[in-house]
Structures are given as structure tokens and as C-alpha cells.
Amino acid sequence: MLTYRLEGSGGTECLVMRDEVRPEPKPHEIVVRVRATSLNRRDTMILNGTYPLTPRQGIVPLSDGAGEIVAIGDAVTRFAVGDRVTGSYFARWVDGRINAGLIDQLGCTLDGMLAEYAVLDEQWAVRLPDHLDWHEAATLTCAGLTAWNAVTGAGIPKPGQWVLAIGSGGVSLFALQFAKLLGCRVVAVTSRGGKADRLRALGADLVISTSETPEWGAAVRDQTGGIDLVVETGGPATFAQSLIASTLYGHIVLLTLQDQQGRSIEMPAALYQRSLATISRLFVGSRTNLEAMLRAVSQHRLRPVIDKVFAFTEAGDAYRYFQKGDVFGKVVVDGA
Ligand SMILES: NC(=O)c1ccc[n+]([C@@H]2O[C@H](COP(=O)([O-])OP(=O)(O)OC[C@H]3O[C@@H](n4cnc5c(N)ncnc54)[C@H](OP(=O)(O)O)[C@@H]3O)[C@@H](O)[C@H]2O)c1
């Protein structure tokens, strides 16, 4: 079977395709014929050696992928051959709070999905909604679940309240879609004004170009009366404006602290003094969260936004394209 492995952490040259023996499942394992995978920001950090969790040497990369089960171990009870599944990001985190014993991640410390076949413990996988095609089904594990937990986590915004989504990457577009499912109003800010129409078509009630309005926080606050929930994916480039945009008791889910240049967010004293916003954090989510999200995706027949699909043999090109950052939704790699 064909599989990619990360042999080092020096960029796409370390992404090596190998031809290996197709695995057989142990008693509690399933073998998945992978039909598609997708990229997340963390995958580029793992590739470049900047991810906080040290990857295992020679790992099969990518947490996100979808496929059908072609073989199961003797003791498997959760699945049957033919089931359509995806993996759970923190494979061992089933429910409740995360702890140090549960931090193994697919595509980092455990072999991930960028292979013709993936071997997963049956506890690491979940069934997929029927209405999704393989490309769409491969996008939910990291960006989808992060956005779901950001929007439905600590304080679920009520219908009519304002949610702010920053940019048009994977997490932001899912956040926009989930916020609309909840009946919220959504502001989308983007550094590229050319994406405004697509953001409106997805349901954004207000779109602001950050290049045309660099001090967009005040503009957002003026036009909305204040944001109730910010899904903060921008980090140091956007945090201060997000705080300005928020209502006095707003909620900011801070998903990243640093940008790709290593700069961290700052909290100017003048902003701190005039805001009572709650700042919370999260790490993607558990399998139980993933199952809850997939029920909602299924119920509302939500369709993830795909930016571009690459052939399996072009996985390096997919990484390079994704790293440039001018995306609208998910970058997908077809199965082998
Ligand atoms: N804590 C967690 O559990 C968790 C989980 C997943 C992701 N994250 C973090 O969340 C962030 C987003 O992840 P992602 O996978 O959605 O990334 P992504 O797909 O790479 O998103 C990139 C988008 O962000 C926007 N952007 C980039 N620089 C910007 C800036 N200076 N100001 C405003 N917008 C900017 C751009 O949209 P426009 O072109 O429209 O401006 C770009 O398309 C990453 O930092 C990632 O590490 C955290």
C-alpha cells in the first residue's frame, strides 16, 4: 500500500511516499481504506518542526481523513466492514476533560490518515453522516470540531446574538456555518475583500475587509452593538480588534496565541480596563464532542467548504498551496 511518512521536520522534502505491506488488524483494530484527507494549520507546524507536541519520527501525517472499513479485528464491536468512518483527533480522549494521558494525536504521535490504508483502534473512529461525499467527510476532525466546540462550548450564543469569525480558513468557515445553524448573526472579517461575496453566500450577515478597515473592531462594534462570541483564529494580528469589537461581557474563544513569525498576542492596558470579556481556550475536542457535531451536521445536512482537491501523489503540492494561506475552506488530498 502507498503511504506518506514524515522523515524529519524540514518542510515538504521530509514528506516521503513509501510502498508498504497492507496492515492486518489486531483484535480491537479496524483497517480503513482512506478515500480523502485534509490539511490543517497544525499539519504545516508538524511538517516544519514548530508544533508544541513532538511528532513521532516517521509518522504518517494528517489527523483528518475519511474512508470505509475493509477489515476488522476479531474483538471489534463498534463497527462492521463497509462502515464509513473518520478518526478522532485526540484518539484516546473519549469524553470529559482532557488530561496528560490522553494527548496522543493522529498524524503526530499516532499514525494518521495520509495513506492508502489507515489502522485505527476501534475506539479512535466515528461513523460519518451519509450525505457527505468523501472530500467533505475528510474535513471535520480538526477544524470542524474546533469550530463546533468554540461555538457550542462554554456559553452557547442565543439566536440573534452576534458571532465573529476571522478569515476564511477551515475553522472560520465552519464557525460561520455552525453559528448560522444556531440562528446567530455572523460578522466575517477577511484580509482579502475578494472573498466577501462567498462569505455572504455562506450566511455572513456582515463582511468587513481588514485591509480596507484596519481598525475594524470599532466598525464591527458600531454596526452590531458588540459581538457576543468571537472565534479568535487570528492571534496577534487580530486579538486587540476582536476585544474592541466585543460587548462588555463578550466571550472570546482564543484558538491561537502566536502567529507564524512567533509573535504573541498582547493585551493593551487600555483595552483590558474597558472590557469584562471572558477569554477561554480549547484543544479541538473529544470523541463525544465529535459525535455530537456529526449529529448536527447530519441533521442540518451541512456541507463543508472545499477550497481545492489534490491527487494523492501531489500531497507535497497540497501542503505548499495550503501554506500560502490564500484559501477559502479546506484543502483536500484524494485517496491513493
Ligand atoms: N486550539 C485549537 O484547538 C485549534 C484547533 C484548530 C486550529 N487552531 C488555530 O486556529 C487558527 C486557524 O486554523 P485554520 O486551520 O482555520 O487555518 P487556516 O485554514 O490556515 O486559516 C487561514 C486564514 O486565516 C486568515 N488570516 C490569516 N492571517 C490573517 C490576519 N493577519 N488577519 C486576519 N485573518 C488572517 C486568512 O483568511 P482571509 O484570507 O480571509 O483573511 C486565511 O485564509 C490557526 O492558528 C490554528 O493553529 C487552533
Per-residue pLDDT of the chain (336 residues; tens, 9 = 90+): 999 999 988 899 999 999 999 999 999 999 999 999 999 999 999 999 999 999 999 999 999 999 999 999 999 999 999 999 999 999 999 999 999 999 999 999 999 999 999 999 999 999 999 999 999 999 999 999 999 999 999 778 999 999 999 999 999 999 999 999 999 999 999 998 889 999 999 999 999 999 999 999 999 999 999 999 999 999 999 999 999 999 999 999 999 998 878 899 988 899 989 999 999 999 999 999 999 999 999 999 999 999 999 999 999 999 999 999 899 999 999 999
- Distance set, CA 265 to CA 154, 256, 262, 270 (Å): 22, 9, 10, 15
Domain boundaries defined on the chain: 2-143+284-334, 154-281
Phi, psi (degrees; rounded to nearest 5) at 206: -145, 130
| 154-281 homologous superfamily | NAD(P)-binding Rossmann-like Domain (3.40.50.720)
| Residue 85 · residue 69 · CB < 8 Å | yes
Q: Are 88 and 107 a contacting pair, CB within 8 Å?
A: no
Residues 6 or more apart whose CB falls under 8 angstroms from that of 123 comprise: 28, 78, 91, 92, 94, 287
Q: Whose CA is nearest to atom 45 of ligand 1?
A: 256
User: Which neighbouring-strand residues pair with 253?
Assistant: 231, 280
Distances (CA, A) of 176 to 20, 31, 38, 322: 41, 34, 19, 20
- Residues in the ligand 1 pocket, defined by CB under 6 Å: 40-42, 142-143, 146, 166-172, 190-192, 195, 210, 233-234, 237-238, 255-256, 282-284, 325-327
Atom of ligand 1 nearest to the CA of 327: 43
- Select from 89, 102, 172, 200 the residue to mutate for testing ligand 1; criterion: most ligand atoms less than 8 Å from CB: 172
**Which CATH superfamily hosts domain 2-143+284-334?**
Medium-chain alcohol dehydrogenases, catalytic domain (3.90.180.10)
Quote the pLDDT of residue 193: 81
How far apart are alpha carbons 152 and 148 in whole angstroms? 6
Read off the C-alpha cell for 5: 511518512
- Which residues, in sequence order, are CB contacts of 193 under 8 Å at separation 6+? 209, 211, 212
How far does the centroid of ligand 1 lie from the alpha carbon of residue 79, in Å? 34
Question: pTM above 0.95?
Answer: yes
231 within 8 A of 171, measured Cβ to Cβ: yes
d(CA 327, CA 113): 22
CA of 327 to the centre of ligand 1 (A): 10
Pick the residue whose CA is nearest to atom 31 on ligand 1: 237
State the residue for C-alpha cell 484558538.
255
Kindly report each contact of residues 73-80 with a partner whose C-beta sits within 8 Å and lies 24 or more positions away, as own/partner.
73/25, 73/26, 73/27, 73/28, 73/29, 73/30, 73/122, 74/27, 75/27, 75/28, 76/25, 76/27, 76/28, 76/29, 76/30, 76/122, 77/122, 78/122, 78/123, 78/125, 79/30, 79/122, 79/125, 79/127
Q: Are 224 and 206 in contact (CB under 8 A)?
A: yes
Find how far residue 182's CA is from the centre of its chain: 19
Q: Select from 68, 155, 173, 80 the least CA-distant residue to 117.
A: 68
